[in-house]
């Protein structure tokens, strides 16, 4: 369902990222250091460190950027001299398999990269617990990331987990510029981005004006066939995820929030949605939505805005 214009943008960045990874791999060096910290010892000695590959790196990637986020992991790992086991999301495994083929066609050494497809709940646990794996790089939900920490054992971990990104709008803001930024930041890739804007905290003085501006901007997002160049938003990854997002939005409205625009769903397509008067206790405000909607809340001061913005269990 990713619009073709966004897909081309993603694919166009992969080569650049690979070249950057290769360059950085040539810059991996150790350090030399004196050993004379202890009086009377080490004056005639010099120590040095060496950076060496971890060994086998397990790369677990999500569906939302099936080329770019794969390269984010395998590019640096291979460039540093590691062997990589790639476990892509089951919904988008074909692009990962094709990338693997292309890398071998380009001369990648045998067994430097192995791509395994299938159920993450089954394969992920087996791979993460295997003692032959020395490092795990995972991008995905916070819940799964926590599970990995519990089963990985003594391994290096790099975990890029969930978010509920806020934006604060104060009275001196350019509301047209903010509304345009909202329409971009909250709805690219149907909101299925780990840094997607989800919560907008607006000072009461400009609250109504912001809602008017953002309503117009969001209603201008073209929804339709992902193969059309003009389309800016299309289907989510599957109908189950779209139904979940729709349920969350309905839950917020039923709990006292106000639907400004959108809210409809047809199969896997959720219309770009703005929900106002969102309370901090609502699921839309506390958990990662990962869908094409934003929740807007009014505040009376900057301090209150900061408290709401930071009042979630996410780092982003």
Find residue 200's DSSP bridge partners.
Answer: 167, 296
The DSSP secondary structure of 213-233, one letter per residue, reads HHHHHHHTS-BS-TTSTT--B
Contacts (Cβ under 8 Å, ≥6 apart) of 299: 201, 202, 203, 204, 305, 308
Whether 194 is catalytic is yes
HEC assignment per residue over 72-130:
HHHHHHHHCCCEEEEECCHHHHHHHHHHHHHHHHCCCCCCCEEECCCCHHHHHHHHHHC
Assigned token pair, 261 = 């625009």
Active-site option among 10, 194, 241, 288: 194
Measured at the alpha carbon of residue 57, what is the angle toward residues 52 and 61, in degrees to the nearest 5? 140
Confirm whether 251 is a catalytic residue: no
Q: Choose, from 54, 160, 219, 304, the residue flagged as catalytic.
A: 160
Residues annotated as catalytic (active site), given as ranges: 160, 194
């Amino acid at each position: 369902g990713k619009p073709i214009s966004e897909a081309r943008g993603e694919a166009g960045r992969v080569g650049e990222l690979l070249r950057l990874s290769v360059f950085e791999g040539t810059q991996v060096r150790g350090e030399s250091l004196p050993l004379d910290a202890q009086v009377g010892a080490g004056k005639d000695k010099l120590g040095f460190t060496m950076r060496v590959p971890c060994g086998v790196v397990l790369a677990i990637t999500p569906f939302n950027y099936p080329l770019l986020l794969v390269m984010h992991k395998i590019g640096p790992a291979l460039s540093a001299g590691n062997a990589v086991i790639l476990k892509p999301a089951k919904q988008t495994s074909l692009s990962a398999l094709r990338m693997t083929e292309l890398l071998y066609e380009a001369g990648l050494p045998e067994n430097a990269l192995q791509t395994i497809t299938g159920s993450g709940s089954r394969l992920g646990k087996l791979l993460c617990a295997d003692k032959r794996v020395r490092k795990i790089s995972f991008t995905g939900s916070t819940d799964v990331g926590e599970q990995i920490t519990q089963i990985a054992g003594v391994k290096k971990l790099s975990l890029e987990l969930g978010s509920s990104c806020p934006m604060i709008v104060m009275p001196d803001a350019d509301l047209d510029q903010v509304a345009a930024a909202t329409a971009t930041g909250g709805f690219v890739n149907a909101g299925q981005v780990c840094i997607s804007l989800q919560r907008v905290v607006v000072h009461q003085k400009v609250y109504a004006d912001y809602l008017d501006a953002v309503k117009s901007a969001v209603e201008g997002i073209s929804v339709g066939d992902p193969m059309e160049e003009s389309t800016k938003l299309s289907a989510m990854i599957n109908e189950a995820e779209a139904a979940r997002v729709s349920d969350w939005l309905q839950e917020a409205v039923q709990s006292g929030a106000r639907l400004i625009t959108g809210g409809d769903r047809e199969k896997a397509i959720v219309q770009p949605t703005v929900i106002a008067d969102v309370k901090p206790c609502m699921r839309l405000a506390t958990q990662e939505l990962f869908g094409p909607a934003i929740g807007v809340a009014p505040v009376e001061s900057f301090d209150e805005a900061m408290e709401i913005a930071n009042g979630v269990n996410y780092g982003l």
